[in-house]
Amino acid sequence: MKRIFLVLVILCNAAGYSQEVFDVIAKETCECLNAKREKQPNLSADDFKTEVGVCMIKSYSDHISEFKGADKVNFSDKEGMTKLGEKVAIKMMQFCPNVILDLGRTVNNDEEEVEKEDAFVEGVVVDIISEQFITLQLKDQKGRSYNLLLLDYFDTASLLTNNEIKKKDKLKVSYAEIELFDSKAKEFRYYKILTKIEKQ
């Protein structure tokens, strides 16, 4: 159910749904969420998103007999449940816009947290290879070697581009792994891409 709400802001100006049952489910979902917030004001972002799905499904279950034909959705129908969630969520903007805004903020926070979770390694610079891209070769305390590419700009990238890093310097570097095509090997491989450099 988490992805149901990712496009809410875009969908806000979509055509409204005339079926009164969607209004009822939206209103009941809002009331359910407000009640849960009063009981548990410190719900985590993940728990809150889960509760949105729980409240919506409970209300839908209570009113399922009011749906006609194609509007009736089976719980095992993932696509159908997603569309139902989008319709109800649009209606929720009328009854509890603060809930929708909070959901939008939790999505943004989730994305920021993912960005902060880049892997990192501490080690000594073995070599810096300047070809089409700069490759930083690093060896950690256990003797493991790392080849890290400089592809994107970040705040401390200038340490490399301005030649402020030398062999045997001690660094802490963060990196993300992405899959790129190796034209020499003619296959896709995972590469470590630098996202942050700190001198130690």
Q: Do residues 69 and 37 both lie within one domain?
A: yes
Q: Do residues 186 and 144 both lie within one domain?
A: yes
The pLDDT value recorded for residue 188 is: 86
The pLDDT value recorded for residue 3 is: 45
Q: Is the pTM of this model over 0.85?
A: no
Instruction: Out of 33-47, 52-66, 73-87, 112-126, pick the least confident.
Output: 112-126
Q: Do residues 89 and 129 both lie within one domain?
A: no
Average pLDDT over residues 33-46: 82
- The pair phi, psi for residue 197, each rounded to 5°, is -130, 130
The pLDDT value recorded for residue 107 is: 55
The pLDDT value recorded for residue 172 is: 94
Q: Which residue has the higher pLDDT, 70 or 36?
A: 36
Q: Do residues 139 and 193 both lie within one domain?
A: yes
Q: Do residues 55 and 151 both lie within one domain?
A: no
The residue from 89, 115, 141 where one domain ends is 115
The structure tokens 């949105």 sit at: 52
CATH code of the domain containing 128: 2.40.50.140
The pLDDT value recorded for residue 28 is: 93
108-122: per-residue pLDDT in tens?
Answer: 555 554 445 678 999
The pLDDT value recorded for residue 14 is: 36
The residue from 90, 115, 140 where one domain ends is 115
The pLDDT value recorded for residue 174 is: 93
Q: Do residues 146 and 104 both lie within one domain?
A: no
Residue 96's pLDDT band (boundaries 50, 70, 90)?
confident
2-38: per-residue pLDDT in tens?
Answer: 444 443 433 333 333 345 888 999 999 999 988 888 8
Could you tell me which residues come within 8 angstroms of residue 112 by beta carbon, excluding any fewer than 6 positions away? Answer: none
Number of domains in the chain: 2
The pLDDT value recorded for residue 168 is: 94
Q: Do residues 107 and 14 both lie within one domain?
A: yes
122-177: per-residue pLDDT in tens?
Answer: 999 999 999 888 999 999 999 999 999 998 889 999 999 999 999 999 999 999 98
Residue 103's pLDDT band (boundaries 50, 70, 90)?
confident
Q: What is d(CA 114, CA 8) in angstroms, rounded to the nearest whole number?
A: 21
Q: Do residues 108 and 89 both lie within one domain?
A: yes
Q: Are 49 and 5 in contact (CB under 8 A)?
A: yes
- The pair phi, psi for residue 151, each rounded to 5°, is -115, -35
Q: Do residues 182 and 135 both lie within one domain?
A: yes
Q: Do residues 175 and 83 both lie within one domain?
A: no
Domain residues for 81? Answer: 2-115
β-strands 187-199, 119-130 pairing: unpaired
Q: Do residues 108 and 129 both lie within one domain?
A: no
The residue from 63, 84, 115 where one domain ends is 115
Q: Are 176 and 195 in contact (CB under 8 A)?
A: yes
Q: Do residues 167 and 80 both lie within one domain?
A: no
pLDDT at 75 over 90: no
